[in-house]
Amino acid sequence: MSGSENVSFIKVSRVLPVRRWQALRLIARVEDFPALVPAIKECRIIDRDYRRTITSWAVEMDGIPICWREEALFDYKNFIVRFKALTGDLESLEGHWSFLEGPSGTTEVVVEAAVRIGVPIMDQMVGGMITEKIRGVFESLLRFFEESIIDKRYQKMDSRGANAVSGFGVIGHPYNFQHLIQYLRSLNPNFNPPSPGFLGKVFDLMPAYVSYDIREFRSATGAVTRGAFISCNIIPEMLALDIENVIRKVVDSCKVAERQGLGIVALGGFTSIAGERYGDVFLKQVRIPVTTGNTLTAALVVEGVVKAARLMGLELSKARVTVIGGAGDIGSACARALAAMTREVTITSRSSDNLKKMEKVIKAVRHAKFRGSHDNNEAVRHADIVVAAASAPQSIVDISSFKSGAIVCDVGYPKNIAYAETDRNDILIFAGGICEIPSEFNPGFDIGLSSPRVLYGCFSEAMVLALEGRYENFSWGKGRITREKMDEILMLAKKHGFCLAPFFWGRRVLSDAEVAGIGKTAGRI
């Protein structure tokens, strides 16, 4: 290269989910490039042998045509491809591709190039801009390689998962701004939060990422799978402000799972609330099978309530139930199941139409009496059992509203009832839809659970499905949870050593004897 004046440098890299020789093979197939990147108009092989190719290139970037003839030399031993323009519009274009071995069968492909336009004055004025455009072409090329690799993987996958993909992904997010700060402090105890405006914007800019890699997750049967906890940078309030932005982030989180070659992903917390709002339109944007995990969650809620009633001496057939957010996916499934066992079911909703729909649903069960309410605090006042399943960004029920002896199962994330210490020793309040799991799940920061051996039902559902090799949209679409599906996933969960977690609220775990004691305090036993 003649001198270093006005030379611009480009460095672009991307981790491709293939081995080094596979990545090198992709780069060698230059004749495929025009089909991948619209800016590459032509890439013709003029001469080729095992270690050397001569190619002719025509690229058009935003109306700027650039042509050149290039020599590429393949160093297979060191996984380097050196290239150099021999003739053409640019005074010089020279660089190399390198292929660095990454973890779990991945390769970091790096392209570095030096570019000199070589036209006096224009070099200084627009050289940088043209180099940026060339950088864009390299970036697009690597992005298309990645996309086509992932496409092929998920196309190959049959309903039993084949072996193109494996394992589970779980997508989580902080439950509020304070929780985000708590997480950041877990990374740096001296972290001093900047203004909420600044931190919120920076948080919003962050792409989704794998925050916990689970190399080996072992079932009680001895079966092993792998997984990843993917952090999606949203907090529930963001849904009301900009749902499109949230959906984009959830889709990006699924793409992170796809890059890992995972077989199924669970949308945790508000990522499922957002995804479900777009229903099948959302599913079309991702290749990986997705589940909300709501079927196992609902099954665990019902199991927890039935267990609590038994321990506390509450006769279910005489019980009054209130389901907060009872027209929602989990709420309606729990309401239907509990309507078959109890005397009366009250559903709360902000919408009269939803209450009318739920009246039909509960009456179709032909057992419990139906009541509807728009007032959560009023609706729980006489309830023996309360299931709180509203997708509200902050607490919406006052703990003083519950009657003495009530069983209160809060499945919300974030919680429907303030998730704090309580002096209400006369009620059983517990986090619902929670599973005891056969191996630890420990992302290294507080995710609102009592131990690394307990986990949200939605995440557990994806783990169970991965252990079964059932890579399918098991829970998807609002109001589609049936008793049969709840029983099916519960049975599979139990086979792999997942079961109802011990009752807990915040940091306090309650033994069965303590739960029975609450029944006694309330005068039940």
Residues 6+ positions from 446 with CB-CB distance below 8 Å: 179, 182, 183, 186
Sign of the alpha-carbon dihedral angle for 344, 345, 350, 351? negative
Of the candidates 328, 405, 438, 519, which one interacts with ligand NAP according to CB under 6 A?
A: 328
Whole-number Å distance between alpha carbons of 39 and 141? 10
Of the candidates 127, 169, 263, 269, which one interacts with ligand NAP according to CB under 6 A?
A: 269
Q: What per-residue string of b and e applies to 344-355 under the rule 16 or more CB within 10 Å gives b?
A: bbbbbbeeeebb
Contacting range for ligand NAP; rule: CB under 6 A; set: 93-101, 255-263, 325-333, 513-521: 325-333
Selection from 120, 123, 125, 237 nearest residue 178 by Cα? 237
User: Helical H runs in 91-158?
Assistant: 122-156
For the purposes of burial, counting CB atoms within 10 Å of the CB of 317, is it exposed (0-12), middle (13-18) or buried (19 or more)?
exposed
Minimum separation from the CB atom of position 435 to ligand NAP (A): 8
Residue (293 or 519) nearer to ligand NAP, CB: 293
Contacting range for ligand NAP; rule: CB under 6 A; set: 106-114, 149-157, 451-459, 495-503: 451-459
Residues between 399 and 438 with contacts to ligand NAP, criterion CB under 6 A: 411-413, 433-434
Of the candidates 227, 261, 325, 438, which one interacts with ligand NAP according to CB under 6 A?
A: 325
Q: In what order do the strands lie in the sheet with 499-500?
A: 454-456, 434-436, 499-500
Do residues 332 and 360 lie in contact, with contact meaning Cβ atoms separated by under 8 Å? no
Residue (39 or 455) nearer to ligand NAP, CB: 455
481 binds ligand NAP (CB under 6 A): no
250 binds ligand NAP (CB under 6 A): no
Binding mask 138-177 for ligand NAP (x = CB under 6 A): ----------------------------------------
Bridge partners of 213, per DSSP, are 228
Contacting range for ligand NAP; rule: CB under 6 A; set: 104-112, 199-207, 290-298, 400-408: 290-298
Omega before 17 cis (within 30°)?
Answer: no
Token digits of residue 426: 């006369």
Contacting range for ligand NAP; rule: CB under 6 A; set: 6-14, 226-234, 280-288, 293-301: 293-301
Token digits of residue 263: 């077989």
Phi, psi of 395 (to 5 degrees): -65, 145
Of the candidates 227, 304, 372, 457, which one interacts with ligand NAP according to CB under 6 A?
A: 457
Minimum separation from the CB atom of position 400 to ligand NAP (A): 18
Bridge partners of 73, per DSSP, are 52, 82
Contacting range for ligand NAP; rule: CB under 6 A; set: 129-137, 180-188, 227-235, 346-354: 346-354
Residues between 167 and 226 with contacts to ligand NAP, criterion CB under 6 A: none
Of the candidates 262, 306, 323, 396, which one interacts with ligand NAP according to CB under 6 A?
A: 396
Kind of pairing, strands 344-348 and 320-324? parallel
271 binds ligand NAP (CB under 6 A): no
Token digits of residue 121: 């004055």
Minimum separation from the CB atom of position 102 to ligand NAP (A): 33
Of the candidates 127, 172, 293, 304, which one interacts with ligand NAP according to CB under 6 A?
A: 293
Residue (144 or 504) nearer to ligand NAP, CB: 504
Residue (127 or 412) nearer to ligand NAP, CB: 412
389 binds ligand NAP (CB under 6 A): yes
- Which helix (H) or strand (E) segment is 20 a member of? helix 20-28
Selection from 315, 503, 521 nearest residue 404 by Cα? 521
Residue (273 or 286) nearer to ligand NAP, CB: 273
Q: How far are the Cα atoms of 282, 302, 383 from residue 369, in angstroms, in the given order?
A: 37, 18, 13
Contacting range for ligand NAP; rule: CB under 6 A; set: 101-109, 189-197, 216-224, 348-356: 348-356
Residues 6+ positions from 393 with CB-CB distance below 8 Å: 176, 235, 236, 237, 239, 240, 270, 414
Minimum separation from the CB atom of position 218 to ligand NAP (A): 21
Whole-number Å distance between alpha carbons of 380 and 395? 14
Minimum separation from the CB atom of position 483 to ligand NAP (A): 16
- Residue spans of beta strands (DSSP E) within 301-358: 320-324, 344-348
CA 487 from chain centre, in angstroms, equals 25
Contacting range for ligand NAP; rule: CB under 6 A; set: 55-63, 200-208, 343-351, 502-510: 343-351
Of the candidates 456, 471, 474, 503, which one interacts with ligand NAP according to CB under 6 A?
A: 456
Whole-number Å distance between alpha carbons of 514 and 491? 28
Minimum separation from the CB atom of position 272 to ligand NAP (A): 6
Of the candidates 228, 390, 490, 500, which one interacts with ligand NAP according to CB under 6 A?
A: 390
Catalog residues that contact ligand NAP under the rule CB under 6 A: 269-270, 272-273, 293-294, 297, 325, 327-331, 349-351, 354, 389-392, 396, 411-413, 433-434, 456-458, 478
